[in-house]
Structure formats: C-alpha cells, structure tokens
Structure 1
Amino acid sequence: MDLILTCHGTTDADAALCVGHGDPPLSARGFTDVQGLAAGWTGAAPRFLFSSDLRRAQQSAQVFAARFAIEPLVDERLREFDFGRWEGRRWDQIAREDALAYRHWLDNWVIQPAPDGESFADVLRRTAVWLSALLGTTQGNDRVLAVAHPGSIRALLCHALGLPPARATALAVEPAKVTRVCWRNGQFDVACVNSAVFPAD
C-alpha cells in the first residue's frame, strides 16, 4: 500500500494564533497551492481519499475529489491537535497570561494536554486506530491519499517510522506538501517527506 499524506493548504488565520480544532477556511492561496499539487499528480489515482473533518482539510480534499472523481471519506481521527481553552488565542498572550500552564505544556507536550485539550499522546492514539484500520482493509497495490494536518501527519509518521514521539517536531510538514510512505512486507518505507510535488511511481 502507498499512503500519501497531504497537508491542507494555507488559511488566512494569523500565524501567531493557536489553531488546532479551530476551523478557518482555506485562503485563496491555499486553494491555488492545492490545485497545483493535484494537477501534478502522476501515476494511478488513489483507491481511497480520506480527509480530516476540519474545514481546511475538507476543502483541500475536495480539490482532489474533483481531480479523481472520488468521494472523500471524512474521519475526525485525522484532526489537528485540540488546544482546548487556548484555541484562537495568540501564542504570546497564552505565554504571558497562562504562563505556568504554558511552560508545563511546553516542557511536556508529548504527554501533557493543553487545558481542556489534547496531548500529542492523544493524537498518537487516535491516529494509530485509523492507521490500523487502514492496514486491515487495504491491499498491497492500493494507493491511499489522506488530507490532514501537521500534528496528525507527524503522529502517523511516528507510527510508520518508529520514531520517538519527542522527535515528531523534527519532521517538516508544511501546507500543500506531500509525504509518501509505502507498506511492504510488514513495514513502512519512506518515499518522500514534505515534497512540493508528488513523487513519480
């Protein structure tokens, strides 16, 4: 199985804001970038197209849906982090006004959830269930495209590559970029990470 993980396009949300389960739409540039990515697809079309249920991912997935005439399968397990009470606030404001909780989270983000939110361990758990179900329902030559978020893509790569969770932030995951891993003989191999174009077959 080829698993192609695509990060949604950019939004108009301020980069200084904490955005996880928050639901900003794609920006005009975000649409354009995803359209360019879809136009550069090579090889066989995906058998399955999955998307996070957040709007920016679903809008990105619709671009691929139109390209391949395939219906996206929406799955909330592919969502970004839930930052709880910090959602929509500026990071500098959080660091200033909720300094103790922010510092504790920053030092322990793998196991420490944001207030009323999720830890990275929580994201790992839900993405693990999704990946396990996927491996149980696909065949060797299947190609799967999943449109998700930096946090959920990093979690999936930790599972696929056996990376320690604390190393997840070392993986670059940018808007409208592609990561491809291949499941062969009981293990994943990496074809590309954070690529601006789909890799050739």
Structure 2
Amino acid sequence: MQLYLIRHPRPRVAPGTCYGRLDLELAEPAGQAATRIAPRLPAGLPLWTSPARRCRELAAALHPAPAIEPRLWEMDFGLWEGKSWDEIGPAALDSWAADPAGFVPPGGESGLQVQARALDFVRELAQTGIIAAAVLTHAGILRALLAHQLQWPGQRWLELRFDYEQIVPLHFNRP
C-alpha cells in the first residue's frame, strides 16, 4: 500500500512550546497551505486526517470528504503540554531523548504507544484493499511509522525529522 504521509502546516504557537494534543489553529489560512501541498500529491487519493484542528482545517481544503481518524493524533505529552521546553527542563528532556520510544512524559504516552495505534490504523486501512491514500498527521506519527518501516530501534527515532507540510511517500510493506 502506498501512503503519502503529510505533516500539518505550522500551527499558531509560541516557539519552544511543547504541543502534541493541544488543539492549535494554523498560523496561516489552510487554503494557502493546500495550494502548496495539493500539486505534490497524486490526484484523487482518499484522505485520512488527525482530529487536531491544525490537520482538519488543511484536510477540508485538500479533499471534499476527508475521514477523521483518532489514531492519527499526535503523541500525548501529558503534563508537558503547553509548557516551554525550558520549563520542562534538561533532565526530563535528556530522559526522553535517551529513549524516545519507551519514555512516557508524566500523564502522557510513549512513542511505542503512538506507534501501536498508528500501525493499528495502517493495518486496518490495508485490509480494506485501498492501494494508495493520503494521511494528514503529525511528526510523531510520521516518526513512528517510518521507524517501524526502517526497523529502527527506539534510540534512533529522534533522528527522523519532518518539516511542516512535508510529504513522505511510504510504500508500506511491513504492516
């Protein structure tokens, strides 16, 4: 199955803020981002999107009937949500960086939990017989799916970086 994983556009949030489940609006109108993204996608793809506003707004500008999929939400950072990286502090961030797959922020979820729900979605999608689809989501979901595909250990996950509006074509052959 061919997936076109799309990271949402830049959200309206102060630089240096931890956000995952915060439901942020986009920094610019979704239509502007859609005019940049649409030409880079094959025409007529079905589109699944995270329920996050920053994804839903773009999805509506890209597709007449996007499917909202809760398993595509970004990682839940728990008590870190909305705090600056400075407030979270270097000791906590170092713990996360040492094990991005297994570390659980207080009240949040681990990268492996994110990966499990994202893979559950992809496996279910593959069972429908769909050959290709666009998936509008977050860097954490892209990281979890690509790490699975590459068979990377959790310690390497943070090496995978994605720009806003980046499209990652992925022939998913390891459901």
| CA positional deviation for 1:124 | 1.0
1:11/1:30 contact within 8 Å kept? no
The 1:161–1:102 alpha-carbon spacing in structure 2 relative to 1, beyond 3 Å, is closer
In the other structure, the counterpart of 2:44 is 45
More strand by share: 1
Q: Is the 8 A contact 2:102 2:154 kept in 1?
A: no
Structure 1 segments unaligned to the other structure (5+ residues): 189-201
Q: TM-score, normalised by structure 2?
A: 0.89
Return the alpha-carbon distance in structure 2 between the equivalents of residues 158 and 6 of structure 1.
Answer: 16
Say which is worse superposed, 86-95 or 99-108, in terms of deviation: 99-108
Distance (Å, rounded) in 2 between the aligned partners of 1:49 and 1:37: 13
CA contact (8 A) 1:8 1:56 kept: yes
**Partner AA of 2:171 in structure 1:** C
Q: 1:147 aligns with which of 136, 144, 148?
A: 136
The count of residues paired between Structure 1 and Structure 2 equals 174
Other-structure match for 1:178: 167
1:14-163 equivalences under 5 Å are 14-28=14-28, 31-38=31-38, 40-41=39-40, 43-46=42-45, 48-65=46-63, 69=64, 71-95=65-89, 100-139=91-130, 142-163=131-152
Distance 2:7 2:42 in 1: 20
2:5 counterpart of 1:5: yes
Q: Which residue of 2 aligns with 1:196?
A: none
The reply to whether residue 164 of structure 1 matches residue 150 of structure 2 is no
Given that 1:9 and 1:26 are in contact with CA atoms closer than 8 Å, whether structure 2 keeps it comes out as: yes
Larger Rg computed on CA atoms: 1
Tell me by how many angstroms 1:150 deviates.
0.3
CA deviation vs aligned residue, 1:52-84 (integer Å, no higher than 9, x gap): 01110111111111xxx3x11111111111110
CA contact 1:6–1:178 (8 Å) conserved in 2 = yes
The RMSD of aligned alpha carbons is 1.9
Q: Is the 8 A contact 2:98 2:155 kept in 1?
A: no
- Residue identity (%): 28
Distance 2:41 2:106 in 1: 43
Any conservation in 1 of the 2:49–2:59 contact (CA below 8 Å)?
yes
Q: Take 1:5 and 1:117, find their aligned partners in 2: how far apart are those partners?
A: 24
- CA apart distance, 1:34: 3.2
Show CA shifts across 1:91-135 (max 9, x none).
10110xxx6544433333321110000111111111111111111
